[in-house]
Each structure stands twice: as structure tokens, then as C-alpha cells.
């Protein structure tokens, strides 16, 4: 654990921001423009989403992640058209106003392409190029960072970390083939995406093993069901559990944490950085 678990992954430009990996933990604030978010924070209106994003930036968020389709296990898929109607007005407004970059949370290349055109400067693909391989081409053509998430839905692990890492390697290779530069790849182990409670706990515990990939790590544990299972708490009672996973994740090498409770997790990250980063 601690700084010994880290490798220098250089820096990545994201819009006007430059993320210097290893210097500190970056905070990604979640803005869900969807009525059925698992976390209970879904927003139906553009103005609500803009106000929430402004608040997150004031609280210390380094990037705003805008999503228009729920990623809960039993989510109801929406069409490309509906997803675009939800996210484009928000991204357009935020990109013009905010000093921090905006990310689009989608697995659909058509949505990502339009979002980048509207001002998004990062693509966060929760299916790690498995659903739409054209996603990597969009990221390459736009020259924007791409978050590749390991998604295990519909399959089971036999040997958790080796298989998870191998899957990320395959997705990274696909991104390289499509022209995405190495500096623009960020990896996410996909906590909650097709993993059991024990597997999610093990991923956080062994997060440093992902350093073999040589790329910055994004960790998204905020309010997720494995925390509720351990603590026997509903979504709105998972703040402390989230804080614990964020702190341990940072100690084990997380470079970005994707969170709902920005102000609280900014403090957790600052304290964790003070302990584990030189």
C-alpha cells in the first residue's frame, strides 16, 4: 500500500486541464440526467443538472461526468436519441461555463461523438469498448481521454484479478489499434459491474495490482450495493462506507475517484493524499 504501489503514468490533457498522475487524487463529480439512477440522485431537468455541476465545482470537483442512461443492473435501456436529448443541453451549457472539463458517461459511440461535439473532453465507457468498438475511433479522432471500464455482466470470474487485468489489456489493445494514444487511456476495474460483493471488496483491497497496466486508475465505488450489503444500509446511508473505500482505494493507487458526495470525498481524498503521497 501507499506510494510504493504507484507508478508514474505521466500526464493527460483533458480540455484545458492537465492531470498530473501521482501528484494528487482527482475528483470526478457524478451528474445523472436520468430518472432511474441507482443512487437516487437522478435529475430530470437541465437546469437542475447545471446547478448540481456548479455546486460540485465549487466543492472541489476536477471533472464533471454527465450520464443520460442508468447503469444499474436492471436498468431500462434508452435510445440514442433519448440519451442525446438528456445529455447534450447539459454538456453544452457546462462546457461553456465551467473551468473544469466535462466527461460523457456512455457506451454508445454515436452519443459520445455528439457529446464531444458539444464540448465533452473525456469519454467514460462503462462497457470498455465491448458494446461499441467504434467508441475508440471517436476518442482517437477527438483526441480526448478514454476511460476503459472492465464490465463482467453476463460472465463469471474464475481467477479475479488476473482475468480482470487481462480483459483490460485486451480493451487497451483495441483502443491502441483504433488510434487512441497511450497517454489518453485511463483504466477502471468496474466495481459493481457484474461482480459479487466479495469480488468488489477484493478489487479495492488489491487495486494496486492494476498498476501493472501502467495507466492511471479510476475507482467508482460511490454508494454502490456492495457497501449497502456490508453495512446493511440503503443508498442514502452509504456515505461512511463510500469514504472508507475511497481512502483505501487511494492508498492502493487510485488516481481518480468518481463520487456523488463531492464535498465530503474531497476532504477524504486530501487527507488520504497527505498520508500516502510524497
The domain total for the chain is: 1
Q: What is the CATH number of the domain that holds 91?
A: 3.20.20.20
Condensed to tens digits (0 to 9), the pLDDT of residues 66-90 reads 999 977 666 678 899 999 999 999 9
Condensed to tens digits (0 to 9), the pLDDT of residues 226-261 reads 999 999 999 999 999 999 999 999 999 999 999 999
For residue 42, name the pLDDT band (cuts at 50, 70, 90): low
Q: Is residue 97 part of a domain?
A: yes
For residue 43, name the pLDDT band (cuts at 50, 70, 90): low
The residues assigned a catalytic role are: 224, 258
Q: Is residue 122 part of a domain?
A: yes
Q: Is residue 3 part of a domain?
A: no
Q: Is residue 28 part of a domain?
A: yes
Q: Is residue 7 part of a domain?
A: no
Q: Is residue 91 part of a domain?
A: yes
Q: What is the mean pLDDT of residues 137-152?
A: 98
Q: Is residue 4 part of a domain?
A: no
For residue 4, name the pLDDT band (cuts at 50, 70, 90): very low
pLDDT of residue 138: 98
Q: What does the CA dihedral 253, 224, 80, 78 come to, rounded to 10 degrees? A: 170
For residue 101, name the pLDDT band (cuts at 50, 70, 90): very high
Q: Is residue 8 part of a domain?
A: no
Instruction: Provide the residue range defining the domain that includes 130.
Output: 13-276
Amino acid at each position: 500500500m501507499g506510494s510504493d504501489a504507484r507508478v508514474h503514468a505521466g500526464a493527460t490533457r483533458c480540455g484545458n486541464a492537465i492531470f498530473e498522475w501521482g501528484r494528487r487524487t482527482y475528483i470526478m463529480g457524478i451528474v445523472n440526467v436520468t430518472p432511474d439512477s441507482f443512487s437516487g440522485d437522478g435529475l430530470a431537468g437541465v437546469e437542475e443538472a447545471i446547478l448540481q455541476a456548479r455546486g460540485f465545482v465549487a466543492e472541489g470537483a476536477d471533472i464533471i461526468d454527465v450520464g443520460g442512461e442508468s447503469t444499474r443492473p436492471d436498468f431500462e435501456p434508452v435510445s440514442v436519441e433519448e440519451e442525446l436529448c438528456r445529455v447534450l443541453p447539459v454538456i453544452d451549457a457546462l462546457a461553456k461555463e465551467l473551468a473544469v472539463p466535462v466527461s460523457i458517461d456512455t457506451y454508445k459511440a454515436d452519443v459520445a461523438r455528439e457529446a464531444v461535439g458539444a464540448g465533452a473532453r473525456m469519454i467514460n465507457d462503462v462497457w470498455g469498448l465491448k458494446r461499441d468498438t467504434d467508441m475508440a475511433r471517436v476518442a482517437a479522432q477527438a483526441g480526448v481521454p478514454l476511460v476503459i471500464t472492465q464490465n463482467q455482466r453476463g460472465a463469471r470470474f474464475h481467477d479475479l484479478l488476473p482475468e480482470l487485468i487481462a480483459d483490460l489489456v485486451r480493451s487497451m489493445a483495441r483502443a491502441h489499434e483504433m488510434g487512441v494514444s497511450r497517454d489518453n487511456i485511463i483504466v477502471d476495474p468496474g466495481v459493481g459491474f457484474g461482480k459479487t460483493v466479495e469480488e468488489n471488496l477484493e478489487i479495492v483491497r488489491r487495486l494496486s495490482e492494476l498498476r501493472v497496466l501502467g495507466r492511471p486508475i479510476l475507482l467508482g465505488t460511490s454508494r454502490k450495493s456492495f457497501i449497502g450489503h456490508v453495512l446493511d444500509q440503503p443508498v442514502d446511508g452509504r456515505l461512511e462506507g463510500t469514504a472508507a473505500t475511497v481512502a483505501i482505494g487511494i492508498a492502493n493507487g487510485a488516481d481518480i475517484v468518481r463520487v456523488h458526495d463531492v464535498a465530503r470525498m474531497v476532504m477524504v481524498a486530501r487527507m488520504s493524499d497527505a498520508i500516502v503521497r510524497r
